[in-house]
């Protein structure tokens, strides 16, 4: 399975077997360590160590999204993290983004964050249990996890927008988002240039939008759409990023 196929295969997994993932799977993750953000793999039980209020069970490992707290670093870190999520999916592992229900200070200690850093989110991962607990089914149902908004509610296309642009945007509709809020919005012009914005403005906005941008990039890569993504120094819900089509 490639990363594009993993976009359709992925769904949130909250109950794990506890079995440690193969080292080779973790070695294949593209973990950024840049000025402003990095992703750290923590090999310890998520439920026991940092407290996820029972939502996640028996995850043997997790990713910590360590950022400097700026919107730009959070957005970029979420992009890199979603690539990791899809790599884990492609390699047969389950995962779940955890945005709010974890203990910031315990997680910080486990991930050995430095002064001035904070953890924007964690991602539990491991082998999915075949048994979905009652709590997992309730959490998933409350978030209407499998429901997605209509394409036309999210995205605005020009009559002459290249058809392939629709296919690339479809990859965003399958993205995970906090409480399945699906804040992603995009407008495409006749040349295939796309402007991304967010319908939400909360602590999850940059995470949700970073995930969406990565789905877009992966779909564009796979479908051979050439262009470049421009992220402003200070992204805002009104202007998260612009995709400039190569032919435009």
Q: Binding residues for ligand FMN, per CB under 6 A? A: 11-12, 14, 55, 96-101, 121, 139, 143, 145, 176-180, 204, 207-208, 211
Cβ distance to ligand FMN smaller for residue 87 or 193? 87
What is d(CA 165, CA 172) in angstroms, rounded to the nearest whole number? 11
Cβ distance to ligand FMN smaller for residue 95 or 161? 95
Q: At its nearest, how many Å lie between ligand FMN and the CB of residue 173?
A: 10
What is d(CA 62, CA 108) in angstroms, rounded to the nearest whole number? 12
Beta bridge partners of 197: 185
Q: At its nearest, how many Å lie between ligand FMN and the CB of residue 176?
A: 3
What is d(CA 63, CA 155) in angstroms, rounded to the nearest whole number? 31
Q: At its nearest, how many Å lie between ligand FMN and the CB of residue 24?
A: 25
What is d(CA 185, CA 87) in angstroms, rounded to the nearest whole number? 25
Cβ distance to ligand FMN smaller for residue 38 or 215? 215
Residue with tokens 């400097």: 68
Cβ distance to ligand FMN smaller for residue 140 or 161? 140
Q: Is the dihedral of CA 113, 103, 94, 36 positive or negative?
A: negative
Q: At its nearest, how many Å lie between ligand FMN and the CB of residue 142?
A: 9
Q: At its nearest, how many Å lie between ligand FMN and the CB of residue 120?
A: 8
- Please provide residue 223's backbone torsions phi and psi, each rounded to the nearest 5 degrees: -95, 5
Beta bridge partners of 67: 37, 118
Cβ distance to ligand FMN smaller for residue 11 or 222? 11
């Amino acid at each position: 399975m490639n990363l594009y196929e993993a976009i359709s295969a992925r769904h949130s997994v909250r109950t794990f077997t506890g079995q440690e993932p193969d080292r080779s799977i973790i070695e294949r993750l593209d973990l950024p360590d840049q000025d402003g953000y990095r992703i750290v793999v923590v090999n310890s039980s998520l439920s026991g160590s940092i407290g996820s209020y029972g939502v996640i069970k028996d995850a043997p490992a997790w990713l910590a999204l360590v950022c400097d707290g700026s919107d730009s670093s959070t957005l970029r870190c979420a992009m890199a993290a979603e690539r990791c999520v899809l790599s884990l999916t492609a390699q047969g592992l389950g995962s779940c983004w955890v945005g709010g229900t974890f203990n910031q200070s315990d997680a910080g200690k486990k991930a050995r964050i430095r002064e001035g850093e904070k953890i924007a989110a964690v991602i539990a991962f491991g082998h999915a249990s075949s048994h979905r607990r009652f709590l997992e089914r309730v959490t998933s149902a409350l978030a209407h996890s499998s429901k997605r908004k209509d394409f036309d509610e999210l995205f605005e296309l020009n009559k002459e927008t290249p058809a392939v642009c629709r296919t690339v945007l479809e990859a965003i509709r399958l993205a995970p988002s906090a409480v399945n809020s699906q804040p992603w919005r995009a407008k495409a012009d006749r040349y295939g240039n796309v402007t991304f914005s967010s319908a939400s403005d909360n602590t999850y906005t940059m995470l949700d939008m970073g995930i969406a941008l990565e789905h877009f990039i992966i779909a564009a890569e796979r479908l051979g759409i050439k262009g470049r993504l421009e992220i402003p120094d200070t992204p805002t819900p009104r202007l998260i990023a612009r995709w400039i089509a190569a032919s435009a």
